[in-house]
Homo-oligomer: A and B are copies of this chain.
Amino acid sequence: MTETTETAPGWLTPEELELTRARMPILYVDAVPVRVDDTGLVTHVGLLLRIGSDGTVSRALVSGRVHHHERVRDALMRHLEKDLGPVALPRVPASPQPFTIAEYFPTPGITPYHDSRQHAVSLAYVVPVAGDCRPRQDALDLVWFTPQEAASPLVQQEMSGGQDVLLKQALAHVGCLP
C-alpha cells in the first residue's frame, strides 16, 4: 500500500498522519481491477507493476486511504483514477458490502496482512474496469493476468503485505480460484 503525499487543506500533515497511525486503525480501501466478459465472468485481473529502488519488481492492488468526510465510493473512484488514469471506466459495485476486510497489522502474523507503517483496516472490492488503463504516479504499468496466472506462485511471490492472499480471496469470491 504505497501512498503519495497529499497536501490539500484539511488533510493531515505528514507529522499528524504519523502520530495518528500510532494511535488508531486507519481506514483503507483495496480494489482488485478486473476485466469481465459479456456475462460478467472475470477473464483477467489487473496488477500494478512497481520497480523498487533496489530494482526488485513488485505487483500491487489499487489501494489507499479514505479521507475525512469522503464516502467509501468516492475514495475507491479517487484511487482507481489515480492509479489507472482518467479513462479506465471503473464500475464500482452497487453494494457497499466489501467481499472481505483486510486487517493490516504492523506486527506480522496476527492476520495474513501486514503493513509495517500502521494498523490499517481495508474494505476490499472487485471492480470491473471497461476502459483503457494508463497507470500514473509511482506505478510503471498495469499488467493483466488470467486468474490462473494471477494465482500462480510466480505472480503471488511478487506481491507483498499479504496482498497475494487478498488477491486469492478476490478470485475465490468471483468463482475463479484455480
Whether a CB of chain B sits under 8 angstroms from the CB of A72 is yes
Whether a CB of chain B sits under 8 angstroms from the CB of A41 is yes
Whether a CB of chain B sits under 8 angstroms from the CB of A3 is no
Whether a CB of chain B sits under 8 angstroms from the CB of A108 is no
Stretch from A52-60, A91-99, A136-144 that touches the partner? A91-99
Q: Please encode chain A, from 71 to 104, with 1 for each CB lying within 8 Å of some chain B CB and 0 for all others.
A: 1111011000000000000011111111111010
**Roughly how many angstroms separate A97 CA and B10 CA in the complex, as a whole number?**
31
**Roughly how many angstroms separate A28 CA and B103 CA in the complex, as a whole number?**
13
Question: Could you say which of A91, A112, A165 has the most chain B C-beta atoms within 10 Å of its C-beta?
Answer: A91
Are A41 and B94 CB-contacts (below 8 A) given A20-B23, A68-B25, A72-B101? yes
Number of interface residues of A (CB under 8 A): 62
Are A23 and B27 CB-contacts (below 8 A) given A97-B99, A101-B96, A105-B69? no
Whether a CB of chain B sits under 8 angstroms from the CB of A1 is no
Copies of the protein in its oligomer:
4
Contact residues in B for A101 (Cβ distance below 8 Å): 72, 96-98, 123
A178 vs chain B, min Cβ distance (A): 8
Contact residues in B for A68 (Cβ distance below 8 Å): 22-25, 119
Contact residues in B for A94 (Cβ distance below 8 Å): 34, 36, 40-42, 126, 128, 174
Contact residues in B for A69 (Cβ distance below 8 Å): 105-107, 119
Contact residues in B for A41 (Cβ distance below 8 Å): 73, 94
Selected from B27, B95, B169, the residue in CB contact (under 8 A) with A24 is B27
Contact residues in B for A22 (Cβ distance below 8 Å): 68
Contact residues in B for A27 (Cβ distance below 8 Å): 24-25, 27, 121
Do B23 and A24 touch across chains, with their CB atoms under 8 A apart?
A: no
